Amino acid sequence: MMKDESFFDKVYDVVRQIPYGKVTSYGAIAKFLGAARSSRMVGWAMNNSHTENLSVPAHRVVNRNGLLTGKFHFDTPTLMQELLENEGHTLTDDQIKDFDNVFWDPAKEIF
DNA sequence: ACCATGACGTTTC
DNA sequence: CGAAACGCCATGG
């Protein structure tokens, strides 16, 4: 707050465009924003997103391994997994199965 | 300007 | 294969 949330705003915008049944990684978003090494900022933006009253499908954003690293940041540690399973994903030990197949690259889909 | 934080990523041991 | 260290960079104090 008290700022335009420049970086965060971009992150939210990208995450909101993630189609149903698709997922992406923090690094991919960061790269799309022009800051490939700011992957941590993306995750941080997610953390801030749940603090704000924003509608950001953070459950569709996982780390580069397809692992639900941030599941503990949701209301419940199982919420993220259930949301993904609800979208047709298969979770294996907090990791998305066929991650490459459901991976959504903003740099490719968004022009 | 400096230090601390962080839902990552890569490399190294 | 698993854990730890380092790097990287934006935001807050």
Q: Does A97 reside within a domain? A: yes
Q: What is the CA radius of gyration of chain A?
A: 13
**Average pLDDT of span A79-108:** 93
A65-A108-A41-A16 Cα dihedral, nearest 10 degrees: -100
Longest dimension (CA), chain A: 41
β-strands A91-92, A61-62: how paired?
A: unpaired
Q: How far is the CA of A72 from the C1' of C11 (A)?
A: 22
Q: Output the domain CATH number for residue A90.
A: 1.10.10.10
CA-CA-CA-CA torsion for A14, A102, A63, A2, nearest 10 degrees?
20
Query: Does A85 fall in a domain?
Result: yes
Domain for residue A58, yes or no?
yes
User: Tokens 């639900």 belong to which residue?
Assistant: A68
The pLDDT score that the predictor gives to residue A45 is 92
The gap between A63 CA and B8 C1' (Å) is 7
Asked whether residue A46, judged by its CB, lies under 7 Å from any atom of the DNA or RNA strand B, the reply is yes
Its domain, for residue A85, covers: 7-109
Inside any domain, residue A68: yes
Q: What is the pLDDT of residues A5-51, one digit of tens each?
A: 688 999 999 999 999 999 999 999 999 998 888 899 999 999 989 88
Number of independent structural domains in chain A: 1
Q: Report whether pLDDT(A3) > 80.
A: no
Å separating the CA of residue A47 from the C1' of nucleotide C13: 19
Tell whether the model's pLDDT for residue A104 goes beyond 90: yes
The answer to whether residue A72 scores a pLDDT higher than 60 is yes
The answer to whether the beta carbon of residue A84 comes closer than 7 angstroms to any atom of strand B is no
Do the beta carbons of residue A91 and residue A81 sit within 8 Å?
Answer: yes
